[in-house]
Amino acid sequence: MSSPRTLQWVGDGQGFVRLIDQTLLPTRLEYRECRTVEEVWEAIRVLRVRGAPAIGVAAAMGVVVGMQTHPGDAARLREVCAYLRTSRPTAVNLFWALERMERTFEEVRVALSPQAIHERLLREALVIEDEDRRMCRAIGKAGATLIESGDGVLTHCNAGGLATADYGTALAVLFTAQEQGKELHVFADETRPLLQGARLTAWELQQRGIPVTVICDNMAAQVMKEGRIQRIVVGADRIAANGDTANKIGTYGVAILARAHGIPFYVAAPSSTFDLSLPTGAGIPIEQRDPGEVTHGFGRQTVPDNVPVYNPAFDVTPHELITALITEKGVITPVETRTIRSVLTSAT
């Protein structure tokens, strides 16, 4: 089945980015047009477009938008990329995609006209989008082998089609299992404070006819104890060389609960989410977000005035707690530097 496009480029080199405004889901499915680099930056920053792979695609398209007024201008490219890098710090796909756009520019800047350079940048952004779509399908196929019919599966945050160019990472595993005729029941953690699990994951699963039950984050232990969860599958924002994984705040707690209950804990992510320059997760920058997301979530004050709030958007799950990494190149287990390097450097 085809889903609404999370984001897409509309038109030629002078076109624009159209994306689902995810802040309005699940009650409103509306698109937003980003015609300036500032609008792309804002869409990433406030999570209109979110999820590591989708952020990477949006940033690549943001470069094209930003270069429209100065095609072929190296100083402008540096400025646009530096600006987009400040939108969010944790998902490495953002930095990966911007580096790729800069590399592409360098490859052609001498040989091509400004207009042709611009067309080349647009082509690269579309290639990044297309590759992401294909990587998600491959992740689904690799991961579905780990799912058995009848499984109860817990997921945290949203790692579905809305978080990627299409189809998702963690949810791709479940979509593929469903397409193979396996019967599943998914438990979606609500995912405080921005409720990506309740608003987005539940919406996507419902669209595809996969039975889903939303639970508050603090109910996961009880649901595991009741024997309703056979596997856990989550996405990732950045995976260090040893497999330590940054993902939405609360993921680390879920991994500890999984270990305590003897439940396999899987992380699904494309190779663009690995940061092999970091030996461990200790070096992963963790985004700190506005306390207002906690104190005034969705329109109502829930914390007294002047009480301090801590609001990290991500945490890091140590690799020892991860049963396997599911990538487009295959399943990596045990999760350690040696196995990760060997799978990621293999040709597909």
As a whole number of Å, the end-to-end CA separation of the chain is: 26
Question: Shortest approach of ligand MRU to residue 47 CB, angstroms?
Answer: 6
Is the Cβ of residue 125 or residue 246 nearer to ligand MRU in the bound state? Answer: 246
> Residue 17: phi, psi to the nearest 5?
-100, 130
As a whole number of angstroms, the distance between CA 59 and CA 105 comes to 15
Is the Cβ of residue 58 or residue 121 nearer to ligand MRU in the bound state? Answer: 58
Of the candidate residues 129, 190, 237, 328, the single one contacting ligand MRU (CB under 6 A): 237
Contact status: 159 vs ligand MRU (CB under 6 A) = yes
- The CB-nearest residue to ligand MRU is 235
Strand-strand pairing, 265-268 and 324-327: parallel
Q: Which of 166, 237, 244, 275 is catalytic?
A: 237
Instruction: Name which of 292, 321, 328 is nearest 307 in CA terms.
Output: 292
Q: Which residues in 86-105 contact ligand MRU (CB under 6 A)?
A: 91
Contact code string over 241-280 relative to ligand MRU, x by CB under 6 A: ------xx--------------------------------
Of the candidate residues 157, 205, 267, 324, the single one contacting ligand MRU (CB under 6 A): 157
Question: Shortest approach of ligand MRU to residue 112 CB, angstroms?
Answer: 34
Instruction: Name which of 176, 327, 308, 312 is nearest 248 in CA terms.
Output: 312
Is the Cβ of residue 104 or residue 176 nearer to ligand MRU in the bound state? Answer: 176
As a whole number of angstroms, the distance between CA 139 and CA 168 comes to 9
> Residue 252: phi, psi to the nearest 5?
-60, -45
151 a catalytic residue: no
- The DSSP 8-state label assigned to residue 288 in this structure reads B
Q: Which residues in 2-61 contact ligand MRU (CB under 6 A)?
A: 47, 50-53
Q: Give all strands of the β-sheet with 314-317 in edge-to-edge order.
A: 274-275, 238-240, 245-248, 314-317
Of the candidate residues 56, 235, 250, 281, the single one contacting ligand MRU (CB under 6 A): 235
DSSP-assigned beta bridge partners for residue 152: 185
Question: Which residues sit at the interface with ligand MRU, rule CB under 6 A?
Answer: 47, 50-53, 91, 157, 159, 163-164, 168-169, 196, 235-237, 247-248, 313
Active site residues: 237
